[in-house]
Amino acid sequence: MGKGGSHGEGEKEQNMAAWLMGINTLKIQPFELPPLGPHDVRVRMKAVGICGSDVHYLKTLRCADFVVKEPMVIGHECAGIIEEVGSQVKSLLPGDRVALEPGISCWRCNLCKDGRYNLCPEMKFFATPPVHGSLANQVTDSSLMFPKYLIMSPGQVVHPADLCFKLPENVSLEEGAMCEPLSVGLHACRRASTGPETTALIMGAGPIGLVTMLAARAFGAPRIVIVDVHDYRLSVAKQLGADNIVKVSTNMQIGKGAKVPLLNILCHRKCSIHGNFQLEVDIVGVFRYKNTWPLCLEFLSSGKIDVKPLITHRFGFSQEEVEEAFETSARGGNAIKVMFNLGGGKSLQEPKAREATIQQASKALKLKPLRCCAL
């Protein structure tokens, strides 16, 4: 299966990951990490979210034109703690809490050189066939020359250090994992030139629609209207600050002069654009994101964006919990973002409370307080 692709047993403590074995079949099995390159870091996964694409793969073994043809580790929305760094890594240290950008581009093609690395034809993206994801105990950002597999588990992954972003002290690991879906919303707002004079209409109040709403507000949009067919999700949008919510049918009309960023169109469907020329409607494509993690962390740290209310369900990393978590996400209903807590519980959610506990314990023992970022 290539570098990092073996799911055989090793001599050391086994790194376990959630493998997609077939339709509706997930199994926790060993995952052998690739070697740590000089510019790589090894990360122990602590928080991993379930994306709609993960559910597509589970239910159909495909998402748009990406088809699962062999067992694959699932997951790409992730954050964790650095366990080991490569010899040339200067920006990170063991113990640092980081959010991982899950796509490794070639950095050699014209698109990469032009800064549009999200469109790189050689992109290796977590949990996008044939690349493994991050629902695992540990992950290593493999060297850019051999970036075939990434994994999602309470285990570890190996990943390029340049794609691991240190979390501010007041940003939790769960919020770090939410940088991935939030990045989609930020990139959409950038593509749509969202600003203080923008009235934003967001079609869909699922996880991506909601983070796009939060991003639009952070970019200064004074009025945000969000539409959906589900009452519950519209109520969540209203609670999160939507100015107007509208329950709609499938027959919608776009007004003159609109700018419409199309994102997350993953299934094959017909889209008529007849008449848009007369209306001067600008249609802008959005594919993943680029250069968004620093801005995500700035918005989260400053409080300008709060993603915590979107995390509605949490699970551990047993076989039973992994299956239940994916079924919960697939059912929808009142589930917005389903999150795996890989060995941490509340410590993944409440960095300030964790630090206060450490300070109190140190004071009681008459010890000099130390900052702790582990677990």
51 shares its domain with 116: yes
| Boundary-marking domain end, from 286, 315, 344 | 286
Instruction: Work out how many domains the chain is built from and give that number.
Output: 2
The answer to whether residues 271 and 202 belong to one domain is yes
Q: What is the CATH number of the domain that holds 274?
A: 3.40.50.720
**292 assigned to some structural domain:** no
CA 79, 161, 44, 157 dihedral sign is positive
For every residue of 283-302, DSSP letters joined together read EEEE-S-SS-HHHHHHHHHH
Alpha-carbon distance of 286 to 243, in angstroms, equals 24
Instruction: Please give the structure tokens belonging to residue 36.
Output: 């740590």
Q: Is residue 53 part of a domain?
A: yes
CB 139 within 8 A of CB 100: yes
How does DSSP assign 341-365, residue by residue?
A: E-S-GGGGT-HHHHHHHHHHHHHHT
Same domain, 82 and 148: yes
Same domain? For 137 and 195 the reply is no
Please tell me whether residues 157 and 17 are part of one structural domain: yes
Residues 4 and 149 in one domain: yes
Give the end of a domain, one of 219, 253, 286. Answer: 286
Structure tokens at 314: 């949490």
What's the confidence (pLDDT) of residue 130? 80
Q: In degrees, to the nearest 5, what angle opens at C-alpha 229 toward C-alphas 227 and 231?
A: 90
Answer for the pair 131, 124: CB distance below 8 angstroms, yes or no: yes
**Sheet architecture: strand order including 244-247:** 199-203, 223-228, 244-247
Within a domain: 36:
yes
Same domain, 327 and 281: no
* Gap between the Cα atoms of 215 and 204, Å rounded: 15
The predicted pLDDT at position 262 comes to 53
Are 282 and 315 in a shared domain?
no
- In order along the chain (375 residues), what is the average pLDDT of each group of 10 residues? 36 77 93 89 94 92 90 92 95 97 93 94 88 71 36 68 96 97 95 92 94 97 93 95 88 58 45 58 85 97 97 94 96 94 63 44 36 28
Q: Are residues 268 and 158 in the same domain?
A: no
Strand partners, 22: 25
| CATH number of the CATH domain containing 331 | 3.90.180.10
Q: Are residues 252 and 143 in the same domain?
A: no
Residue 302 lies in a domain: no
Whole-number Å distance between alpha carbons of 297 and 99:
9
Residue 8 shares a structural domain with residue 135: yes
3-state DSSP call for residue 118?
A: helix
Query: What is the domain range of residue 260?
Result: 191-286
In a domain, 70, yes or no: yes
Residues 31 and 142 in one domain: yes
Judge whether 297 lies within some domain.
no
